[in-house]
Amino acid sequence: MITVLFGGSRPEGNSAELAKIVLKDLDYNWIDLTKYHFDPVRDVRHNGEMITDYT
């Protein structure tokens, strides 16, 4: 099975339509990432800081 992680801003846009054409007749799982909430990533690897609070 193929898993598609779709994150396009338009669910019926060109990217989604093209992916569905390519996947035609294949077994796939479509995960629309726009349906989920992701907190921003804080990258402090290069400035000497440490993350002490994960809120």
Supply the pLDDT for residue 55: 67
Is 29 in contact with 4 (CB distance < 8 Å)?
yes
Q: What is the pLDDT along the chain (55 residues), one digit of tens a residue?
A: 999 999 998 988 999 999 999 999 999 999 999 999 988 877 777 777 777 776 6
Q: What is the pTM of this model?
A: 0.65
Supply the pLDDT for residue 15: 93
Sequence-ordered list of residues with C-beta below 8 angstroms from that of 19, at least 6 positions apart, any chain: 4, 6
Is 42 in contact with 51 (CB distance < 8 Å)?
yes
Domain boundaries along the sequence of the chain = 1-55
What's the distance, Cα to Cα, between the start and end of the chain in Å?
36
